[in-house]
A and B are shown apart, each in its own frame.
Chain A
Amino acid sequence: GAGVSQSPSNKVTEKGKDVELRCDPISGHTALYWYRQSLGQGLEFLIYFQGNSAPDKSGLPSDRFSAERTGGSVSTLTIQRTQQEDSAVYLCASSLALGLVFVTQYFGPGTRLTVL
């Protein structure tokens, strides 16, 4: 079936503007993750959703970052008042439910964000 999809693939914005990044997980995957990959920091976890549970936001770098997941499927990562250091590739992944199962996360192609 279809993999994880993300949109847009590339986004260029001006400093101070808000951006929204979208992720469509694999159908049936109840867990959804956002990661960021930047030159200086490598791959970093941002936020995790699992079903109807409260999201794990422990990786969000500041309160300018937020994410929601509507209907347990599509997720939107919002960055308010973007800064140049927000420039990175934002990767979304999904997996089956966790618990005692050793699950694999499947990654989308990412959104490359450039803040001018």
Chain B
Amino acid sequence: SQQGEEDPQALSIQEGENATMNCSYKTSINNLQWYRQNSGRGLVHLILIRSNEREKHSGRLRVTLDTSKKSSSLLITASRAADTASYFCATRNNAGNMLTFGGGTRLMVKP
């Protein structure tokens, strides 16, 4: 079963705009990770934020984590057509070995 929900399920924006995706989860976590997937294959790790961190940056990506609300957001700034993909959040709890994924957000960036 999926750990959490992501919203929106689909997002369509123009190139240059910012894209914000949200993720909520249910249980205590060790860390939360964001992945990107093109064309239903090949998950690519984007960024990991630890449970004791609140914000993290990597290039055009900004991730926030609010453990009190059990939620995270991924912001992609100055989007490009090449950012078109599905984005998933995934959590790893303190005891488990596996990642539990959200349902994903399908992002389309129009040129």
Which residues of A approach B to under 8 Å, CB–CB? Answer: 31, 33, 35, 37, 41-45, 48, 50, 56, 59, 89, 91, 93, 98, 102, 104-110, 112
Q: A89–B30 contact, CB under 8 A?
A: no
CB-contacts of B41-74 with A (<8 A): 41-45, 48, 50
Q: A110–B42 contact, CB under 8 A?
A: yes
Q: How far is the CB of A92 from chain B (nearest CB, A)?
A: 10
**Which DSSP category, helix, strand, loop or mixed, fits chain B's interface?**
strand
Q: Does B85 make an interface contact (CB < 8 A)? A: no
Q: B30–A59 contact, CB under 8 A?
A: no
Chain B residues with a Cβ closer than 8 Å to the other chain, count: 24
Q: How far is the CB of A41 from chain B (nearest CB, A)?
A: 8
CA distance in complex: A31, B99 (Å): 13
Q: Does B88 make an interface contact (CB < 8 A)? A: yes
Q: 10 closest A-B pairs (Cβ-Cβ)?
A: A43-B101, A45-B98, A107-B43, A109-B42, A48-B97, A110-B41, A104-B45, A42-B103, A42-B2, A109-B41
Q: How far is the CB of B47 from chain A (nearest CB, A)?
A: 9
Enumerate chain A residues within 8 angstroms of B104, measured Cβ to Cβ. 42-43
Enumerate chain A residues within 8 angstroms of B90, measured Cβ to Cβ. 43
In addition to A89-B40, A109-B41, 9 A-B residue pairs with Cβ atoms within 8 Å of each other are A35-B101, A42-B102, A43-B88, A45-B98, A56-B98, A105-B99, A106-B45, A110-B42, A112-B41
Closest chain A residue, CB of each to CB of B102: A42
Knowing A42-B104, A43-B101 touch, does A107 contact B42 (C-beta < 8 A)? yes
